[in-house]
A = this chain, B = another copy of it.
């Protein structure tokens, strides 16, 4: 039988059957999945996602304050009282080295919670594209079905997540002619084709990209468009995201 490569364009679509036994790549290009890759590459020990700011505060109280960073966005800026927002530029090595980041985001966190039952859950973006792709291709070659799950924006379709999903579909299927695509995977290829050579244009046309520029985060877009600039494979398991390292290869 052919392996399946499906794309989910909005987070509410994930049913247990879509997820069971699969390698799942969660994409939230602007900005959570980019920020997660940046923070891990810059030396963060782990990132623990939470559904809301209150849960972050509760967990922080149980940990050494100097070991943790409270991170989260509300209307694109930091949650009031938190150390950091959701901008990848807020997580340089001198800030995150060895730290545990407690993070809440608007879009990505609820989706992660729906992915119980997956074989592996990875976090993908443009900045760690090839690293995650290598993992996905190896899984598909081994006969594992794959799901690319777009976090979207406020539960709605997002142009940039779809384009990035299409990039995974395009490169995953190269040389694997028997892969079966769902309708959303086919559509993501068409979106990817339009923007592949101009991620600046992608962000300029996406509603989330335009909102970030209006909110003063234009420079974030350049970071998020840096293909393979933070080569790392973030893995979500046991409710935390860590870097897949040589000692954790499977």
**CB closest residue in chain B, given A7:** B157
**In the complex, residue of chain B having the shortest beta-carbon distance to the beta carbon of A158:** B183
Number of copies: 2
**Which residues of the other chain, B, contact A193 by a CB distance below 8 angstroms?**
190
Given B13, B182, B183, B191, which contacts A187 in the complex, CB threshold below 8 Å? B191
Is residue A206 within 8 Å, beta carbon to beta carbon, of the partner chain?
Answer: yes
Of B153, B183, B190, B191, which is within 8 A of A207 by CB?
A: B183
When the two chains form their complex, are residues B157 and A9 in contact, meaning their CB atoms are under 8 A apart? yes
Question: Which residue among A183, A184, A194, A205 has the maximum number of chain B CB atoms within 10 Å of its CB?
Answer: A183
Q: Give Cα distance in the complex from A183 to B210, angstroms.
A: 11
A208 to B182, CA, bound (A): 10
- Across-interface contacts of A157 in B (CB, < 8 A): 9, 13, 182-184, 187
**A70 within 8 Å of B by Cβ?**
no
**What is the chain B residue whose CB lies nearest that of A6?**
B156
Query: Chain B residues with Cβ under 8 A from A191's Cβ?
Result: 187, 190
Interface residues on chain A, number (Cβ under 8 Å): 24
Is A172 part of the contact surface with B, judged by Cβ < 8 Å? no
- In this assembly, does A89 line the interface, its C-beta being within 8 Å of a C-beta of chain B? no
**A12 within 8 A of partner (CB):** yes
- A162 sits at the interface (CB 8 A): yes
In the complex, which of the residues B155, B186, B194 contacts A205, with contact meaning CB atoms closer than 8 Å?
B186
Query: Of B9, B162, B182, B208, which one neighbours A10 at CB under 8 angstroms?
Result: B9
Are A162 and B187 in contact, CB atoms less than 8 angstroms apart?
yes
Sample 16 A-B pairs with CB under 8 A, ordered by A number.
A9-B9, A10-B10, A10-B12, A12-B12, A13-B157, A156-B182, A157-B182, A157-B184, A158-B183, A159-B186, A162-B183, A162-B187, A182-B207, A183-B206, A187-B191, A190-B194
Task: Give me 10 other A-B pairs in contact (C-beta within 8 A), A156-B182, A159-B187, A187-B191 excluded.
Answer: A10-B10, A13-B156, A13-B157, A162-B183, A162-B187, A183-B208, A187-B187, A187-B190, A190-B191, A190-B194
